[in-house]
Amino acid sequence: MALAAQTLQDEATDVLARLIRFDTVNPPGQERAAIEWLAGYLSDAGLEVELRAAEPARPSLVATLPGDDPAGGPTLGYLSHVDTVLADPADWAHDPWSGELHDGFLWGRGALDMKSQTAAEAVALAALARAGRRPPTGVLKLFCVSDEEAGGRLGAKFLTEEHPELARADYLVNEGGGSVIPYGDRRLYGVCTAEKGTFRFTVTARGRAGHASVPGTGDNALLKLTPAIDALGTGRAAYDLTEASRALLEALGEDAEDLAATLERIRAIEPRFATLVEPTFGVTMVPTRISASEKINVIPSVAALRVDCRVPPGMAGEATMARIREVLGAAADGLEVAFTEQVVGNGSPPASPLMDAIAGWVAEADPGAEAVPTVLPAFTDSRWWRAAFPECVPYGFFPHRHMTLYDTWPLIHSADERIDVRDLGLAAAFFHDLPERLHG
């Protein structure tokens, strides 16, 4: 590793360790201390830094590095969030709030999701600013927001809607992709170009209450949900391919028309990849919660099954409900099915100057590897930028070469979250080099 790259890695490791030690579990979030520390770090490097807050304890940060000709090129934004999900130290091999190094890995909540990206982006901009290096044209911005883990209302949504002059960007790099994907003899780096929507729904059954000691006195609503649970567990909706999922299949050299056969070929090459990619080809419905009687000795008159439903980018409620009815079939007879949440998935064109810049960097950083478009089964704050600025092209990309997608995905929101510090250095180098590639 060249000295400059090693320097980026060492600094990013230190910054990440410091960020992990701030407790930013959301709820309640309380991100101000972490954001203010980051603001000081970036200001000391010579960046212009501004904070904006929907609530005093929940600010978001915007740092700016103008190019030599700011009006002559696009604005490139780096996005991350510093809030995290909770962590129970009893479940971890090392303290999740320590930011400690063990065997080349930095441990802690946020090491992957996503204080690591905050650290890599911040260190890259700080290094550029200290060295007096500016994009030839355009502007480089860093957005570090609060509240992503609870939906982004107080962070990305607030910033893009209430302060569009600060948040505006032409290209944006966020979370959602970048871990290398071993696939047969190929090495793929996924670039998240689209995100699935969320259409959670409830299946409700109604009956008649009674005393549980005499079952025949009531009509048990809970039992009426059994066919629906079975249908959701064994059924599968027809596939609905989108521009992004077709672009991935094209990159793999696979047929988009006979998707069942295509998935079998993918599964034969790498079953782990098939498990992760199949949900991006259509609607998924996973029962996660059920509620009925509040008392153990009362036959429930009402029972409700709650289902987490994710749908392809762009699919709306009517088409989603058709897929739900398709899977439930006769099991839905006599039951009420209603949405409790409707968020349409979002995406950007898979082909763009930003994709070209990322692909060029991947080819040099890992010779023989390929950048391919992917769809995220979940959602990120990219959706707020796409909604506020329709011309903006956000992608998810945070490169990992030493930890594969099969290593990183199971650790996100889980115990023993950690990152190989070599990948932290790799990511910092990417963010350091990207502006010149895109603006040059």
In 45-154, which ranges are continuous DSSP H helix?
115-130
Helix (H, G, I), strand (E, B) or coil at 264: helix
In tens, the pLDDT along 113-124 reads 999 999 999 999
pLDDT at 136: 86
Tokens representing residue 401 in the block: 């070469």
- Find out whether 159 and 145 touch, Cβ atoms under 8 Å: yes
In tens, the pLDDT along 134-182 reads 888 899 999 999 999 999 999 999 999 999 999 999 999 999 999 999 9
CA distance 435 to 440: 8
Average per-residue pLDDT for the chain: 96
Whether 333 has a pLDDT exceeding 70, the answer reads yes
Whether 3 has a pLDDT exceeding 70, the answer reads no
Please state the rounded mean pLDDT for residues 181-210: 98
pLDDT at 227: 98
The percent of residues in the chain predicted with pLDDT above 90, rounded, is 95
Q: Place 376 in a pLDDT band, splitting at 50, 70 and 90.
A: very high
CATH assignment of 3-183+346-439? 3.40.630.10
Q: Place 412 in a pLDDT band, splitting at 50, 70 and 90.
A: very high
CATH assignment of 197-240+282-339? 3.30.70.360
- What single-letter amino acid sits at 247? A
pLDDT at 143: 98
In tens, the pLDDT along 273-320 reads 999 999 999 999 999 999 999 999 999 999 999 999 999 999 999 999
Distances (CA, A) of 10 to 44, 95, 418, 426: 18, 21, 16, 11
Residue 280: count other Cβ atoms within 10 Å of its Cβ. Answer: 22
Please state the rounded mean pLDDT for residues 8-23: 98
pLDDT at 440: 67
- Find out whether 168 and 389 touch, Cβ atoms under 8 Å: yes
Residue 2 has, within 13 A of its CA and on its CB side, a CA count of: 6
Please state the rounded mean pLDDT for residues 259-267: 95
Q: Place 242 in a pLDDT band, splitting at 50, 70 and 90.
A: very high
CA distance 372 to 396: 12
Whether 47 has a pLDDT exceeding 90, the answer reads yes
pLDDT at 1: 42
Whether 197 has a pLDDT exceeding 50, the answer reads yes
Q: Where are the domain boundaries for CATH 3.30.70.360 in the chain?
A: 197-240+282-339
Whether 321 has a pLDDT exceeding 90, the answer reads yes
- Find out whether 270 and 404 touch, Cβ atoms under 8 Å: no
What does residue 398 show for φ and ψ, rounded to 5 degrees? Answer: -145, 95
Q: Where are the domain boundaries for CATH 3.40.630.10 in the chain?
A: 3-183+346-439
